[in-house]
Every structure is written in C-alpha cells, then in structure tokens.
Amino acid sequence: MRSTLGFRFTWLAAALTAVVLATPAVAQAQDMRALQERIERLQRDVDVLQRQLARGGAAPPASGGAAAPMGGASVSSDYIGRAEDRFSAL
C-alpha cells in the first residue's frame, strides 16, 4: 500500500509540474499570435499604400508623431526607398 501511495504522489507531482511549466508556453504562444496578426495587418497597410502611390494617388495624411515628407505634396523615391528598408528590417 505504501508503494502505491508513493507512486500516486510521484505521478501527481509530475502532472502538476507539467501543468505549471506549460502555462508560460501557452501565454507566449498567444502573445506571438497577436504579434503575428499585427505584423500581417501592417504588411497589408503597407501594400495598400504602395498601390495607392504607384497609381499616382496621394499618400494619406501622416498619423501619430510622424510628419508627412515634403509637406505631403509629393513623395520622393528616396523617401519610399528608406521606408521600404525600414519595413524590411522589421
């Protein structure tokens, strides 16, 4: 009887350890999923902006703390190249 009790205790301890160790992995997976969705959303936004600019459309007004380059009237190829480099670095 004593060996059965010891076996159950060992099994229970192993199961609890597995649950405790798996919890951070689940949280990290959820964080990674949210980050991946955000990156995909940013990529779609960049694609839309590139299509608009390729058609000769004006870029939408800058949001946040960024200022529109050259007053927003025209976008130089240098600016576009630097922006593409920054997005590629992400």
Give percent of the chain above pLDDT 70: 66
Q: Kindly report the pTM of this predicted structure.
A: 0.38
Cα→Cα distances 18→11, 15, 76, Å = 11, 5, 56
Distance CA 75, CA 68 (A): 9
pLDDT tens for 11-29 read 778 887 877 776 666 667 7
The answer to whether 72 and 58 have CB atoms below 8 angstroms apart is yes
Structure tokens, 2: 């004593």
